[in-house]
Chain A
Amino acid sequence: MPSVTAVLRLAAFALLVAFLLAPQSFAPLFAPLTPPGAPPIYDQGNLLMLALAHLATVCCAAAGSTVVAVGLGILVTRASGAEFLPLSRALVNIGQTFPPVAVLALAVPLVGFGEKPTLIALFAYGLLPIFENTIVGLQTCPPAVLEAASGMGMSARQRLSSVELPLAMPLILEGVRLSLVINVGTATLGSTVAAKGLGEVIIAGLLSNNTAFVLQGGVATGLMAILLYDAMTVLERRICRESAT
């Protein structure tokens, strides 16, 4: 018996795929929201391509955030790197508190229009959850387990890779998931600086006063965020099934 959530998840996925592959079949649904004479479905680009570009941007940024945040998290939880904790935390916090729109505005003069400023903004915005979760994950490893690992004769590196990181993995993945989901939404802002993505649809709708476009871009982004969240949950369970308590 499939559970209710599994059914819902499957339905959401089917809906998103159907919409991206055959958007015109949804035209009657959006027609009432369309101003007279305007197209009910976004027609200035391929929705599937936009969605894939959107996803690619988010995933690239998340990969970068993960590498840097986990690396920093490891560094500041070593005895030798502990003094960098306040500095790293401050930097990562700035990344989160500085509005992505402002990052875009500042990045464009430096790197030009397109994907690059968006990647920078998303990267900075996604650091915090991963960094904090990595630290908590590493700091909450049971002391007896760490003592045993050293007592067995593991070097510092072996202890990190075969005990500390595996034990912290559920929390780290949770941070990555949070970061991904936040950035699926935030990435729509990238379209203001000409990055390919679903934000294009929303902005086109706002410019032409077409609520249907805004809704299409919004719903597609929302569904993508939910599905990504679910996919990450499944991945987490698969990776961490061994340490499940």
Chain B
Amino acid sequence: MDYDRELLTGTVGVLILSLLAERAMYAYEMLQEAERRSAGTFRLKEGTIYPALHQMERTGLLQATWRESPEGRSRKYYTLTSKGRRQAQSKRRQWESLLAAMRAIIGDARA
């Protein structure tokens, strides 16, 4: 199914914060993970994740360190800072309320 790209672009920040709330990841890993969990829905233009990650790092939501991946390759891992954790919780709450509202609307429409 084709989604409006703009719709997805607006979710990049929430996506990153949600994934990193679970554990530290590197960029490609996040892309793969998002695609896997959304059963292919979140197939972003992959390059857009880098400006978003760098921006969040600069604003103090994330911090990055180079370390080895389980495959033995050197990867740049991102983790949430305490500010990032707070932001992740806040975004999560916003999304949940928005989704509930959307579900109510769509549900009503179907009914």
Do the two chains bind? no
Q: Which of A's residues lie within 8 Å of B, judged by CB?
A: none
Q: Which of B's residues lie within 8 Å of A, judged by CB?
A: none
